[in-house]
Amino acid sequence: MVQACIHQYKSSISYFCTMRIDIITLFPEMFEGPFNHSIIKRAKDKGLAEIFLHQLRDYGLGKYRQVDDYAYSGGAGMVMRIEPVAELIEKLKNERQYDEVIYTSPDGELLDQPTANQYSTAENLIILCGHYKGIDERIREHYITKEISVGNYVLSGGELAAAIITDSVVRLIPGVLGNEESALSDSFQDQLISPPVYTRPKSFKGWDVPDILLSGNEKVITEWKLEQALKRTKERRPDLLKDIE
């Protein structure tokens, strides 16, 4: 399974072009920290990813740029109106073709590693950040192609979820990480949690690095790492093994 992932990952390099991600949000300033540091900044600096933040309120209605309204039939909370979202998405789609229009929603499909792998070879993505009590259902029916949740809990808004989705995808773009195969040893890439890792010193307060990792025998070390990954997965995330049994 791991070798298949490596082959798929490497083969994507030959046809990959700069990824563009358009994020529709009411709070673009929330992305300044996550997107201007570390891996995402490296991807942007290398020209491997472009991220554009669109203030939805710029497309709001009337003097006060309204983007929300009360729900028909009543109930607590406001709902994002269809017109501003529709206008912005249609504007973007008139400029280029998108692989996916994603909506961050607590009732969406749970984000996982295969999903991140899939989108890492996309050219253009739109991410709509959810807010309030949600968005007008007609947006979901006619504009959204994928709904993604980052966990079984509710956030104050979709910005943090959008940042997580973006990070999980951008780091997998070929050329972003220093070692192209580094991401393939991450947890979940082969339905297993990563094995324990150690660095110097060899001994600290009497706690020693396992001798097998110092043996130099790559075959034995690889087998040990797989055994440890299986053990950890069984102990901590047995649900992951159901799909490969």
Which residue ranges does the chain devote to CATH 3.40.1280.10? 18-170
Which residue ranges does the chain devote to CATH 1.10.1270.20? 187-243
In which band, very low, low, confident or very high, does the pLDDT at 188 lie, cut at 50, 70 and 90? low
Structure tokens belonging to residue 60 = 């709001």
What contacts 225, CB < 8 A, 6 or more positions away?
195
> 18-170 adopts what CATH topology?
Alpha/beta knot (3.40.1280)
Residue 201 reports pLDDT greater than 50: yes
Tens of pLDDT along 10-49? 444 444 579 999 999 999 999 999 999 999 999 999 999 9
Percent of the chain surpassing pLDDT 70: 87
Residue 6 reports pLDDT greater than 50: no
Taking the C-alpha atoms of residue 243 and residue 190, their distance in angstroms, rounded to an integer, is 11
- Is CATH 3.40.30.10 the right assignment for the domain spanning 187-243? no
Taking the C-alpha atoms of residue 77 and residue 60, their distance in angstroms, rounded to an integer, is 18
Hey, what amino acid is at 158? G
- Torsional sign, CA 82, 86, 87, 88: positive
**Contact between residue 125 and residue 99 where contact means Cβ atoms under 8 Å apart:** yes
Average pLDDT for 78-89: 97
Report the chain's mean pLDDT, rounded to a whole number. 90
Residue 147 reports pLDDT greater than 90: yes
Question: How crowded is residue 110: how many other Cβ atoms within 10 Å of its Cβ?
Answer: 10
Percent of the chain surpassing pLDDT 90: 81
Question: Which 3 state secondary structure label does DSSP give 105?
Answer: strand
Structure tokens belonging to residue 35 = 């997107």
